[in-house]
Amino acid sequence: MSADPLPPLPFGARLQAAMAEYGPLCAGIDPHRGLVESWGLTYDLAGLERFTMTCVEAFGGAVAAVKPQSAFFEVFGAKGVALLERALTDLRDAGTLTVLDVKRGDIGTTADAYGEAFLGTDAPAAADAITLSPYLGYGSLRPAIDLAHQTGRGVFVLALTSNPEGAQVQHARLADGRSVAGAIADDAAADNAGARSRGELGSVGLVVGATVGSAVADLGVDLPAMGGPILAPGLGAQGATAADVRSVFAGALGQVLASSSRDVLRAGPDVSSLRARAREVATQVADITAA
Ligand SMILES: O=c1ccn([C@@H]2O[C@H](COP(=O)(O)O)[C@@H](O)[C@H]2O)c(=O)[nH]1
């Protein structure tokens, strides 16, 4: 009689271990035209492939997580998406966690299909975690969140994005006085309750930009109680500094997974230089977030 397979370790626990080993950096793969050309490559499928595989070689086994930005692959159609799927597979084979930045969100049946596409057992573009948009209501994400829990994967729900325009929606107040961002954090806290009771990081994280200044405190977004990881874009190219990370995430620094794309990618195309820059930023962020 064959034994049942072991259930997968939850994403939150796997991320916690990876951050402890490599430092809390998520290196982005953002092959936008300017960057691809600055590496001396042509902005076509061949250039996209060279750029992406250079990143995979440099970041695999070197950082806690890698975040490909789906848009830069989708723009090349089916062949670009196939390349994205290959990069996700190669990073998994290298033992490196992937966060696919796709910002999906829709009514329940469609959220279910999005979940199967990226988080299901047989997902064609399987990632360890994906970004989700809660602006059709946090509850509409339920099928994808439940599937992530079942398959040991994770999600990062947009709460306070790094762009200034996000405030129009995310700073708004609900009838009960809570901010939209605060309510999303409360919903994530409920989904992370089990992990918290085991002393683990939850698998439902939030996206909170390192650029948001005092908004976390002003809007009553309770990040420590949320209990999941915080994907924090905005460091470097968008202007956030180490001091910003310390002040924005005070009280929740151990949950922060800082994300940086352009600031690291500018060190390419040499694989060793790219890896060295990623390691340098990972060490800087580890120093910032150390208690
Ligand atoms: O609030 C958000 C959510 C996602 N992003 C994405 O992160 C990277 C940032 O790139 P940098 O070059 O480090 O500025 C990019 O893929 C965005 O789409 C974000 O910036 N803000």
Rounded Cα distance, 124 and 223, in Å: 32
Rounded Cα distance, 73 and 92, in Å: 18
Strands (E) across 95-226 are located at 97-104, 129-132, 154-160, 204-208
Q: What is the DSSP secondary-structure string of 51-105?
A: HHHHHHHHHTTTSSEEEEBTHHHHTTHHHHHHHHHHHHHHHHHTT-EEEEEEEE-
Tens of pLDDT, residue by residue, the chain (291 residues): 455 566 689 999 999 999 999 999 999 999 999 999 999 999 999 999 999 999 999 999 999 999 999 999 999 999 999 999 999 999 999 999 999 999 999 999 999 999 999 999 999 999 999 999 999 999 999 999 999 999 999 999 999 999 999 999 999 999 999 999 999 999 999 999 999 999 999 999 999 999 999 999 999 999 999 999 999 999 999 999 888 999 999 999 999 999 999 999 999 999 999 999 999 999 999 999 885
The finding on whether 151 has its CB within 6 A of some atom of ligand 1 is: no
Mutate which of 52, 162, 285 for ligand 1? The one with the most ligand atoms within 8 Å of its CB, which is 162
The finding on whether 68 has its CB within 6 A of some atom of ligand 1 is: no
**Helix-then-strand count for the chain, H and E:** 15, 8
The finding on whether 69 has its CB within 6 A of some atom of ligand 1 is: yes
For ligand 1, what atom is nearest to the CA of residue 72? 16
Rounded Cα distance, 51 and 35, in Å: 9
Residue recorded with tokens 């309510």:
183
Strands (E) across 214-291 are located at 230-233, 256-260
- Tell me what pLDDT residue 290 has: 87
Select from 226, 233, 174 the least CA-distant residue to 204: 226
Mutate which of 29, 30, 165 for ligand 1? The one with the most ligand atoms within 8 Å of its CB, which is 30
Q: What is the ipTM of this complex?
A: 0.99
Amino acid at the residue 45: L
